[in-house]
Amino acid sequence: MGDLGFASDTGAALPLYLVPKGGLADALSGADGGISAWAEAAGFSGKAGEALVVRGADGAATAALVGLGDATDRARRRFVLGGARAKLPKGTYHIANPGAAGADLDEAALGWLLAGYRFDRYKSQNGVEAELAAPDGIDAARIAAIASGEALTRDLINTPSSDMGPAELEAAARALAEEFGADIEVTTGQTLLEQNFPMIHAVGRASPREPRLIDITWGGEGPRLTLVGKGVCFDTGGLNLKPGSSMGLMKKDMGGAATVLGLARMIMATGAKIGLRVLIPAVENSVSGAAFRPQDVLTSRKGLTVEINNTDAEGRLVLADALAYAEEAGPDLIVSMATLTGAARVAVGPDLAPFYTDDDGHAARLAEAAAQVRDPVWRMPFWAPYETMIEPAIADLDNAPSGGFAGSITAALFLRRFVEATPYIHFDIFGWQPTAAPARPKGGVGQSARALFEALPDLLP
């Protein structure tokens, strides 16, 4: 996981100045004049990600500057300070800009912590030796909790399916529950049928790694929130087998589960006054004689029948049973997160997390929170005219409408059929950083959790 905390010993922390392009004088107002002279002599311009170390007569570092770029740079890039962390020499730093505060300072602090993430389970990774004192004006405990939640999400997604099957995902959930005193119940294998989770069982029954439904509950005060995360630990496509090129990233098909667990960690670590529930249908979609088939008709927990027209559209099936179960308890809000459709990536690419809601107020608050915490999301429509696309001739619902149009929307409409009376938000995330970026190495990444965490007080009654 790497070092995701602030420095504990801050006695000899060096000043660190965050400098917008062209803003050297303002950033260094009140600083020792020698720092300005050094920066000017070095031609420091404040370009995004640029780093400069100021040294004394003995060659020891006495201060550092990091460029933030101009407004265009900051709109295009996130976590610029995090990206520059590795360029600074070993030592402890404190942000010395006069009047630094607000969302920009929160982003700088979080970016610094996230830049310390390393996935070193299988190969040693060089650590980042520069440390940061918790800046004045931030909620350091909250920022650290967000970073730890994100690190949990990344670790789970990055772990290959050989070591992250349904049982291992359950173990991670149990460890989180134990850490925060939450209750956990798990329904496994044939018991899923006995407890009326037929579609979770159908999707996972072909694998020797038994399917299961993980159910975590925490907190007895406040409004009730249920998070539902898709936990398909590997997706072969089933009998509609994926080509090898499409199977290469399927270890991340449990990214929804990883994200809700990361978000749950944020909620529990900060002691939020929320009655939290986390439901994760954990399965492996495999191929064997027991696999469910194209043209099968499954009856869901809710009683709705589903015609299977593609066994590779399995995520919505396991989520449907979990969503129906979630609503039975009458929570105040249900949120699902899933690496559900390639259509979402075609629509908005890997960096944006599309979301669906019927509540315009919820949508506006999520968009506002996402911008504030630099966790981009984009609203997509529950487009009613497409409802007929998910209604086949012989069953209530079609899990994979033909034609290929509006794939993310039709998947969201399918899920909405299983949540009738409860406010509902669905995220169709990617969960993967395809190329390295500041504080976001290539690999598993959390999407939408920070935006949702920020917005929750306004989304819940």
Are both 224 and 77 inside the same structural domain? no
User: Residue 414 in 3-state DSSP?
Assistant: helix
Say how many C-beta atoms besides its own lie within 10 A of residue 73's C-beta.
Answer: 17
User: Does any domain span residue 286?
Assistant: yes
CATH of the domain at 46: 3.40.220.10
- How many domains does the chain fold into? 2
Q: pLDDT (tens digit, 9 = 90+) per residue, 170-187?
A: 999 999 999 999 999 999
User: Does any domain span residue 132?
Assistant: no
Predicted local distance difference test score (pLDDT) of residue 2:
55
Q: pLDDT (tens digit, 9 = 90+) per residue, 47-94?
A: 999 999 999 989 999 999 999 999 888 888 899 999 999 999 999 999
Domain holding 71, by residue range, is 14-116
Q: Give the predicted TM-score (pTM) of the model.
A: 0.97
Are both 202 and 165 inside the same structural domain? yes
- The one catalytic residue in 316, 345, 416, 450 is 316
Confidence at 101, pLDDT banded by 50, 70, 90: confident
CATH of the domain at 285: 3.40.630.10
55 is catalytic: no
The Cα–Cα gap between 127 and 85 comes to 11
Predicted local distance difference test score (pLDDT) of residue 135:
93
User: Does any domain span residue 126?
Assistant: no
Q: pLDDT (tens digit, 9 = 90+) per residue, 296-331?
A: 999 999 999 999 999 999 999 999 999 999 999 999
Are both 77 and 177 inside the same structural domain? no
User: Does any domain span residue 123?
Assistant: no
Are both 242 and 311 inside the same structural domain? yes
Which residue in 252, 402, 194, 232 sits closest to 318, CA to CA? 232
Q: pLDDT (tens digit, 9 = 90+) per residue, 189-238?
A: 999 999 999 999 999 999 999 999 999 999 988 999 999 999 999 999 99
Are both 59 and 151 inside the same structural domain? no
252 is catalytic: no
What is the percent of the chain with per-residue pLDDT over 90, rounded to a whole number? 89
User: Does any domain span residue 7?
Assistant: no
Burial class (CB in 10 A: 0-12, 13-18, 19+), 68: buried
Judge contact between 339 and 253, C-beta under 8 A.
yes
- What residue has token string 């249900």? 334
Residue 19 has pLDDT above 80, yes or no: yes
Residue 267 has pLDDT above 70, yes or no: yes
Residue 451 has pLDDT above 90, yes or no: yes
Are both 247 and 203 inside the same structural domain? yes
Are both 106 and 149 inside the same structural domain? no
- The one catalytic residue in 142, 174, 242, 379 is 242
Task: Write the secondary structure of 280-333 as one string of H (helix), E (strand) and C (coil).
Answer: EEEEEECCCCCCCCCCCEEECCCCCEEECCCCCCCHHHHHHHHHHHHHHCCCCE
How high is the mean pLDDT of the chain?
95
* The last residue of a domain, from among 116, 134, 169: 116
- Kindly compute the dihedral angle of the four CA atoms of residues 183, 187, 188, 194, in this order, to the nearest 10 degrees: 170
